[in-house]
């Protein structure tokens, strides 16, 4: 009788995970990670490593870096995908869903609030002065990102050449970002498979932490692959079909009901495509998003893209959350029969949905097979080459932003198959140049953190607005 009761209780309650971490504790830990996830992908990954590996010891160093390398190969924000991956390893599907959703929730709420403020008060002198200072800081931050990623990725002349080629292809010839990334991946894969030294030595990731690394054997999860993390075709088909439906059903519904010319349908299609091709992190794809949002769709003005990036830099969560601001402003300016703020809110939420839902799909489908990638030299070389190309793409973003921040007038010219925005040097914006120089000194020389630099430049922007009489 007691034996039957014990069996009934076992069936009624899920078995505790072998690592001993209750799901409720995991929710609290992922909430803490999300709240501290400032500073772009590098800062977010560092926070995750400090809490998950060093403090909680859920997983070891090798497993953490292995998962990170896989996420770097995927389109979308690698930090959020890493959270999904670890959450799934620890607590199955619900663990991945909670970790990934909590990672973006604080940023989504903050960007939405800031978008409302921007839409309502964006032309008020104080707001304009605030964002004037933010633009200069963001430009310095993007330049610092070029240096930081470059130091890690460009370890030989071959990788420097890939970065230069990517910059020339995108800045001068406007070759599509996905083609650049796919080309770099293919060349890197073939070079690694052939055993060429420059590809095998060029890139990868430094250890995320310092001191003595936590070994997989000493972590709570251990070295073994959890039973739920082994490949299961039935589970993969079920979860894949469910997530694909959640992602694509709204897109197809908007296309059918509203037509492809409607702003909501356009937003859904454009950012769904971005979710598939956004390799290399937020900085790499923002140049393409900015150019499309400004030049092709007219959703934003060049300066407004910098305003949105400033919002994303000052709030927790993935930097790619700036796309929510883009979607908000796009729908706000073409509301149809809706109230502009309602339309903007729906546009922002739609953008966030189609941007981040695919991340769960990539992880849940691919993670069970990821152990087969461990130690694969060809794939490691492909990752290194992609990272090198991304340096050139980020440099393209930095130059594009610099032209629009530092000069009031640009002249578009066409020559030898190239299209260039040439600055009119007489239109240089001296106050913006001075603020950018201050931000660069603070970041590069004084090693001040991103948030203090943003606060400093915002305050100086307000002071400039007050002194110039624009407030």
pLDDT digits (tens, 9 = 90+) for 371-430: 666 567 887 788 778 778 878 877 887 888 788 889 988 888 887 778 788 899 999 999
pLDDT score, position 207: 40
The stretch 422-442 carries a mean pLDDT of 92
Q: 98-156, pLDDT tens digit by residue?
A: 999 999 999 999 899 989 999 988 766 677 787 788 888 878 887 887 887 777 678 88
Task: Specify the number of domains making up the chain.
Answer: 1
Do 274 and 323 meet the contact criterion of CB atoms below 8 Å apart?
yes
What is the pLDDT, as a whole number, of residue 349? 97
- Give the pLDDT confidence of 256-308 residue by residue, as tens digits: 999 999 999 999 999 999 888 776 556 667 777 888 888 889 898 877 887 88
Comparison of pLDDT for 310 and 100, the residue scoring more: 100
Integer-rounded Cα radius of gyration of the chain? 23
Residue 196 lies in a domain: yes
Look at residue 442 and tell me whether its pLDDT is greater than 70.
Answer: yes
Alpha helix locations (H) across 154-262?
Answer: 157-171, 177-193, 197-200, 233-258
Query: DSSP 3-state assignment of 240?
Result: helix
- Could you give the C-alpha distances from 320 to 44, 64, 246, 348, 356, in angstroms and in order? 13, 22, 20, 13, 10
Over residues 347-379, the pLDDT tens digits come to 999 999 999 999 999 999 998 888 666 567 887
Cβ–Cβ < 8 Å for 399, 173: no
Residue 43, pLDDT score: 67
Residue 306 lies in a domain: yes
Give the residue numbers spanning the domain of 296. Answer: 24-204+232-467
Residue 6 in any domain: the answer is no
Assess whether pLDDT exceeds 80 at residue 160.
yes
Percent of the chain with pLDDT over 70: 89
Per-residue pLDDT, averaged over 28-46, amounts to: 80
The DSSP line for 2-55 is HHHHHHHHHHHSPPPPTT---HHHHHHHHHHHHHT--SHHHHHHHHHIIIIIII
pLDDT interval class at 177 (50, 70, 90) = confident
Q: Is residue 217 assigned to a domain?
A: no
CB 94 within 8 Å of CB 23: yes
* Any domain includes 79: yes
Gap between the Cα atoms of 405 and 309, Å rounded:
13
Tell me how far apart the alpha carbons of residues 397 and 297 are, in angstroms, rounded to a whole number: 18
**How much is the pLDDT for 279?**
64
pTM of the entire structure?
Answer: 0.71
- Position 58 pLDDT exceeds 80: yes
Inside any domain, residue 211: no
Alpha-carbon torsion (286, 289, 292, 297), positive or negative:
negative
Is 348 part of a structural domain of the chain?
yes
Find the DSSP H helices in 224-336: 233-258, 263-277, 282-291, 302-313, 322-332
């Amino acid at each position: 009788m007691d034996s039957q009761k014990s069996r009934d209780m076992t069936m009624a309650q899920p078995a505790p995970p072998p690592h001993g971490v209750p799901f409720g504790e995991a929710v609290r830990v992922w909430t803490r990670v999300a709240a501290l996830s400032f500073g772009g992908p590098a800062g977010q990954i560092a926070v995750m490593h400090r809490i998950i590996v060093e403090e909680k010891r859920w997983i070891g160093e090798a497993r953490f870096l292995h998962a990170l390398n896989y996420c770097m190969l995927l389109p979308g924000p690698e930090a959020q995908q890493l959270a999904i991956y670890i959450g799934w390893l620890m607590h199955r599907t619900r663990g991945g869903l909670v970790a990934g959703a909590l990672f973006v929730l604080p940023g989504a709420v903050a960007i939405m609030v800031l978008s409302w403020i921007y839409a309502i008060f964006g032309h008020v002198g104080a707001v304009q002065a605030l964002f004037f200072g933010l633009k200069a800081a963001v430009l310095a931050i993007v330049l610092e990102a070029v240096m930081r990623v470059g130091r890690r990725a460009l370890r030989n002349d071959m990788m420097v050449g890939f970065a230069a080629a990517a910059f020339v292809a995108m800045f001068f010839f406007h070759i599509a970002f996905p083609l650049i990334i796919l080309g770099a991946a293919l060349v890197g894969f073939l070079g690694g498979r052939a055993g060429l030294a420059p590809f095998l030595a060029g890139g990868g990731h430094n250890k995320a932490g310092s001191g003595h690394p936590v070994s997989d054997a000493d972590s709570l999860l251990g070295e073994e692959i959890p039973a739920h993390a082994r490949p299961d075709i039935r589970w993969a088909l079920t979860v894949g079909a469910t997530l694909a439906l959640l992602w694509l059903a709204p897109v197809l519904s908007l296309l059918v009901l509203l037509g492809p010319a409607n702003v909501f349908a356009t937003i859904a299609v454009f950012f769904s495509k971005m979710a598939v091709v956004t390799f290399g992190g937020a900085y790499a794809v923002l140049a393409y998003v900015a150019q499309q949002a400004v030049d092709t769709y007219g959703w934003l003005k060049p300066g407004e893209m910098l305003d949105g990036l400033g919002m994303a830099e000052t709030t927790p969560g993935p930097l790619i959350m700036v796309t929510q601001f883009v979607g908000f402003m796009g729908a706000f300016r073409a509301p149809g029969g809706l109230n502009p703020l309602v339309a903007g809110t729906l546009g922002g939420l739609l953008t966030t949905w189609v941007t981040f839902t695919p991340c769960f799909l990539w992880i849940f489908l691919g993670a069970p097979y990821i152990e087969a990638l461990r130690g694969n030299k060809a794939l490691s070389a492909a990752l290194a080459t992609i990272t090198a190309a991304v340096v050139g793409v980020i440099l393209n973003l930095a130059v594009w932003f610099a032209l629009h921040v530092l000069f009031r007038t640009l002249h578009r010219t066409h020559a030898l198959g190239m299209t260039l925005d040439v600055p009119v040097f007489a239109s240089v914006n001296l106050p913006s140049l001075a603020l950018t120089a201050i931000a660069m000194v603070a970041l590069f020389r004084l090693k001040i953190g991103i948030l203090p630099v943003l606060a400093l430049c915002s305050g100086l922007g307000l002071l400039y607005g007050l002194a110039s009489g624009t407030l």
